Amino acid sequence: MSNTNEMLVEFDAVGENEGFARVVIAAFVSRVNPTLEEMSDIKVAVSEAVTNAIIHGYEGTTGRIRIFAKMNDSQLTVRVTDFGKGMADIQQAMEPLFTTKPEEERSGMGFSFMEAFTDELNVESKPGEGTTVTMAKVMGVQNGPNNRVN
């Protein structure tokens, strides 16, 4: 029998909401009893996706960010979508250290962090329409009770 749960949340693309996104995803995955490392990993990955949407997707203009998350047994899928300017060259944007905002001291490591902290990463983008980052990670299946978030 499958144990599936979904959530959908949408919020303004402002920096203050990056922390909100971290709290929401942490609350959502807590029911599968993830390790501290798993919890930290998914919070960082979601935070990076939301930050990219705010800084690069909207570039100081107003907009919305949508997070859809689905937990199917221990498989977490998170989709972070913005409706901003989009990307013409996804491959270039995903290269480590590449940034379109060097004047803001951006590290260019957002996609690298998302990739490192999840099991799967997929990025879809259309110029003028926005970007969707889909991440997947197996949560809460390590052996033993150590490092569990209660």
Q: Annotated catalytic, 48? A: yes
Is 16 an active-site residue?
A: no
Task: Encode 53-84: b = buried (16+ Cβ within 10 Å), e = exposed.
Answer: bbbbbbeeeebebbbbbbbeeebbbbbbbbbb
38, 48, 79, 115: the active-site residue? 48
> Active site residue: 64, 66, 106, 148, which one?
106
Q: Is 66 a catalytic residue?
A: no
Q: Show the tokens assigned to 8.
A: 């959908």
Beta carbons of 87 and 132 less than 8 angstroms apart: no
The Cα–Cα gap between 138 and 13 comes to: 28
Of residues 38, 52, 79, 115, which has the active-site annotation?
52
Q: What are phi and psi of 138, to 5 degrees?
A: -80, 130
The CA R_g of the chain, rounded to the nearest whole Å, is: 15
CA pseudo-torsion sign 140, 143, 147, 149: positive
Catalytic residue IDs: 48, 52, 106
